[in-house]
Structure 1
């Protein structure tokens, strides 16, 4: 097989952009109009607040179908409406030729200048939810302004409506349609500004990558000059005068605002206080600035340089806070975000990391809500010498399991990172639960980090994941969730595509559009769940990745997106995609059920055993796509039921359906089984019907790869190794089946799993 030439992907992208630009220039040569002339007095005096409500919606061309000429002609015919009003306004004030003749930095400054000139007080407002509220003042005003007109409209059409409705509901529907369109446009505009600001002002990329952008811009400038010269027969002097961009009067007036990059950063990220987190090492050393790990670990007896802890915030520096923070990040390590309720899990996790011989530093991100006594418990678990081992250790060690570390397990380098002061006081109450994982991805001070939950169970050392081929190739490695047939509207995917970069973003600022690499994933086709965020691998220094982290945090505030997801899960990879960053990889397998196979005699009360094998477990496990068997990690702790301490066992024994071997047992036996370590002998990755349809059959085999059960506070899921069967009642009827992945582990692997489970629960 012939390997692709290095840089081929970049070359293809350059060619696509040049082709798209050439189409624009052809259009410029064919169609002439005066409204884009930058010296036109009307344009100079004309200002539009693109955030101002409007009840009319011109047809908008998404302008993103492979940059082809037909789309451009259609866009021109419709008054050249780009997907984002940010560009619509820019090209009302300036000709396309004059804008494309600018350098990259000049384009950045012009666009920001143009945005602020339309609304001097522009700021991204984290308090704006974009939610439809029928009790709001806005809705009352809408009724006052539009009520009479809508009443007349309703009287005309009410008898022809497919579904009967009241006038009140009709007005609500009309309000929802209008506001939803406005909110959608406003979100598109805000995300466009966010991407452009990050691309222009947040350091991102190596010199080679920046040189590539410069070459693209230079090629565009050559094409602009050539196309205009050929179309108009103008001299070089005439052409130079034509292409010279002139600022509008409003743009001239906001020079000071545009040149103040620190203030610009505060406009885009007002929820960030511009203060660094507070870093506290296990030994009591503290820093108001990201610690330099190379310096610290070089000589533990050498005092640390004081100048690194003297800077309280970034306002003493003219550069943008986020650039300072990115530049100060260093090293690689493990990151977790916890509160007081996660302390026990964190202690168990640290014991597990010691058993895995982890030597990477650990940053525990918190929001001013961990007590000193809890810190002391964590430090004790991380630092005290371990002399006692579970009985299972001997069996594993003498079984020559290579992954078991020598005794004693190494102490852990634990840091506590308080991000409370890094969030503006007026926005602190906007963050809750899963949001802190997104903040942890931003405010940890590592270049490369593994973000995990307190109840994440690693079955490989952390270094294994940093060395994984998928992570090494992309600097962003993710894992898929369970794949039950829980669906979402197809319109969710269509909405997300609109939120991504358009071709004009790509032409103007080299921000790539979404491709089928993203849009062909199951979430865009209607699957409810896609990513499991219990373990996330990201390298901040890779091109665009830091900006993608910023995007995923910003998406949290955009409720039409965040509220359609389950917690934080999908915001990680969608933050990448919406940022124009598809340099990420997923493990190919969806999550597995891990544990022990259900015995045939207990399976569905059938006389004939099912072909499909079953595992009922509360733990989503992740099987390597490199060998289709290695268990890499799983979630929900190492007890059989992570909710063991929160269950009414009297009720559990009465309502037990799937764990029939426990029927008739005393509730205390139930509790012991739930509290003991999960024993793993098998794993099942269920099949997924590509049409997301159940496979009904006459064999009474499972129709779906997953079923949810009430056990373990409804955290229990049963997985099946195959689905489907006979499509008719006759024995000879055609069979439609799908097989998943069934893994049976060796005695050595099972012994190793048992050892790690005993370590995690503290079974010594």
Structure 2
């Protein structure tokens, strides 16, 4: 063939055209091609496909990807000029944001996300488990229906399950975004209104208060003093006057037609006091707590918060505990406990030797039932009442106590602690139990915080959370971080953080299954507000009681580790003083003598001695803080969980503690209660006694990071032992608490309080 110049030219042009078309096709189809590859990978119903899906979900849900839904609409108002937005005066910027939000979302309202079929699924990054559960359900149904090949899962079955899975991911994505957007709105509300000393748009302030907090009614509580005939008039507000140990009452303080109750609480909460949330069910514990407060010479006023669910009789005995003369309160004739427990300790004769004066207590009852919107009446059960108590107390500086908390030093000392003085929020660490959470749990809570450098908060000068918060044990893989039996906080300074806890109460999932009651909510709420001005005490929770000295009663009979087995976590100050314990003062929180007498180590005791031990209070002679836990999940919630899985898998290679051995017992296998050949593997080992509230703690644990030379390394905790004088003081306080069961009235006692009607 002859190649003329013309033919060569045509050939070159054709080749060039083909190359150009190919490049265009590659360019135009590369996105869809890789999308198809990604889709194919996610639809492989094998281990590799499941893992790819899990990684993709974690990547898509990662908190660093979160952007508030209204961000683009807002910045478009200013032609996408971020620097211009930052320079605009706060009130102008706030008005622009909230007006724009109202315009774009006229029907927006707070969503509880509790409608049927629209629940958050925190296990969507566990696709294999999802498939296995659905396959099992499908096979069971087929077998029940008598279908042929009822034990076979086909590819079509897997495709059907995959459609369900994708639907679950989509629903969770919508809920996740909606919850994060709600919290972002609350942060901007805090910046623009609540914490803005120069609010201009009060109408807008009131409007968004109603939108964001529809569960709280625009009113204030009803207050009632001890042994009074009537509560204070409605819309009255008491302000504690320390000089005369009484309240100055401001009448007609609140107008529900015009006032904003959140703004009112922030501006009018004054003074310092103790707050306890209580119902009739809790009243016996609160009576004992009030007695201990008297023994500690408490001078702070007390407010007991309720929802009309504490009866007249309970309030009467609370008032007796607070107001009765010492001769009655400490009389040995009141109850058998006075005579049977430490009979040599005559409290009436010896209380002064312990420095106690037993001042009468100033108690006020606060009924918050009307403060909750009727449609949300049942949305605040149990622990959430503590959050209502913290919100609606008239105090600015609050010590919030559980009913079964026992203080071992005066309440004022908590406010004088360096942690509180530094931050105005003093929290206590929980037990370092080896319980872990999952990626989507910790990532969810981080997403609720201002943690993204590209977030809308940066335009409003709202601080982002730092490593202080992001390195918290709870956000790095461990289940337990905060113990909530004592909260010491300046409510006014940290009010937005408190408000942040209410959505956590109302959003049942993923919150309810991720947090034990209110335990983590206080530091989480503050962090969600962008408020890191909080401090935890130095030491994690301790096991409080007596060191096991008899080798035959030790669970690790040949170990050098100290052991304290107890139902009571306690909390030690930075200078080594025991500050408070939880779960009352009884040896067991629930007396299980008959059930536990045959179990180790109680089967080693004489039955009479054991019965006395169970019926008497705990002997506080020492507190043991186990070693801290190693890192579980790196800061920043990495989507690759390989290091985390490897760490968990390493536990399988460790020797087992008795609670691990006994939980997987086979038929005919005997319990293992004593281990002679190795040391404790965990700092806290759960016992089956005391209805599962009992733990043994150890200060010497085989390390998770062992040397390569075959030797054994140990992690060490701290043992605090108390001298005789301190131990006697604890015995005295335990007897004060223990003898608080009497339902005797002082001679001549007249009770004037009216019956409280249930709301």
State if a TM-score over 0.5 links the two structures: yes
Say if 1:458 and 1:105 are closer, same or farther in 2 by CA, change over 3 A.
same
Alignment of 1:632-647 (within 5 A): 632-644=579-591, 647=592
Secondary structure in structure 2 of the residue aligned to 1:451 = strand
Aligned equivalent of 2:713, options 722, 736, 745: 736
Aligned equivalent of 2:533, options 565, 583, 603: 583
Q: CA deviation at 1:310?
A: 3.1
- Paired with 1:718 and 1:415, the residues of 2 have a C-alpha distance of 39
- Paired with 1:481 and 1:63, the residues of 2 have a C-alpha distance of 26
Counterpart in 2 of 1:594? Answer: 544
Counterpart in 2 of 1:315? Answer: 256
Q: CA deviation at 1:374?
A: 1.0
Counterpart in 2 of 1:701? Answer: 679
Alignment of 1:290-329 (within 5 A): 291-294=237-240, 298=244, 308-311=250-253, 314-317=255-258, 319-329=259-269
Counterpart in 2 of 1:200? Answer: 192
What's the CA shift string for 1:361-403, capped at 9, x where partnerless? 10101111011111111001100101236666679998997xx
What's the CA shift string for 1:114-164, capped at 9, x where partnerless? 1111121212133647975599xxxxxxxxxxxxxxxxxxxxxxxxx9999
Alignment of 1:173-322 (within 5 A): 173-203=165-195, 259-284=203-228, 286-287=231-232, 288-289=234-235, 291-294=237-240, 298=244, 308-311=250-253, 314-317=255-258, 319-322=259-262
Say if 1:416 and 1:204 are closer, same or farther in 2 by CA, change over 3 A.
farther
Counterpart in 2 of 1:233? Answer: none
Q: CA deviation at 1:92?
A: 3.8
Q: CA deviation at 1:562?
A: 4.0
- Paired with 1:163 and 1:688, the residues of 2 have a C-alpha distance of 48
Q: CA deviation at 1:661?
A: 3.4
Structure scoring higher RCO (CA < 8 A, sep ≥ 6) equals: 2
8 A contact 1:484–1:705 mirrored in 2? yes
- Paired with 1:340 and 1:705, the residues of 2 have a C-alpha distance of 37
- Paired with 1:362 and 1:493, the residues of 2 have a C-alpha distance of 36
Alignment of 1:27-42 (within 5 A): none
8 A contact 1:619–1:634 mirrored in 2? yes
Secondary structure in structure 1 of the residue aligned to 2:305 = strand
What's the CA shift string for 1:479-504, capped at 9, x where partnerless? 01111101111332222222211334
Counterpart in 2 of 1:682? Answer: 622
Is 1:510 the counterpart of 2:442? The answer is no
Counterpart in 2 of 1:716? Answer: 694
8 A contact 1:396–1:755 mirrored in 2? no
- Paired with 2:116 and 2:466, the residues of 1 have a C-alpha distance of 27
- Paired with 1:531 and 1:690, the residues of 2 have a C-alpha distance of 17
Q: Which protein has the larger Cα radius of gyration, Structure 1 or Structure 2?
A: 2
Is 1:630 the counterpart of 2:580? The answer is no
Q: CA deviation at 1:651?
A: 2.8
Counterpart in 1 of 2:334? Answer: none
8 A contact 1:602–1:660 mirrored in 2? no
Counterpart in 2 of 1:145? Answer: none
- Paired with 1:725 and 1:561, the residues of 2 have a C-alpha distance of 32
Counterpart in 2 of 1:566? Answer: 516
- Paired with 1:576 and 1:594, the residues of 2 have a C-alpha distance of 30
Counterpart in 1 of 2:397? Answer: 448
8 A contact 1:556–1:571 mirrored in 2? no
Q: CA deviation at 1:508?
A: 1.9
Q: CA deviation at 1:455?
A: 0.6
Where does the alignment leave 5 or more consecutive residues of structure 1 unmatched? Answer: 1-55, 65-80, 136-160, 211-254
Secondary structure in structure 2 of the residue aligned to 1:759 = helix
- Paired with 1:196 and 1:571, the residues of 2 have a C-alpha distance of 20
* Number of matched pairs: 597
8 A contact 2:302–2:364 mirrored in 1? yes
Alignment of 1:131-170 (within 5 A): 132=118, 166-170=158-162
Counterpart in 1 of 2:643? Answer: none
CA RMSD of aligned residues (A): 3.5
8 A contact 1:696–1:725 mirrored in 2? no
What's the CA shift string for 1:479-536, capped at 9, x where partnerless? 0111110111133222222221133444322211111001111111110111000000
Say if 1:105 and 1:342 are closer, same or farther in 2 by CA, change over 3 A.
same
Alignment of 1:394-543 (within 5 A): 404-407=354-357, 409-501=358-450, 502-503=452-453, 504-542=455-493
- Paired with 2:190 and 2:114, the residues of 1 have a C-alpha distance of 21
Secondary structure in structure 2 of the residue aligned to 1:441 = helix
- Paired with 2:733 and 2:155, the residues of 1 have a C-alpha distance of 59
8 A contact 1:701–1:725 mirrored in 2? no
- Paired with 1:564 and 1:634, the residues of 2 have a C-alpha distance of 24
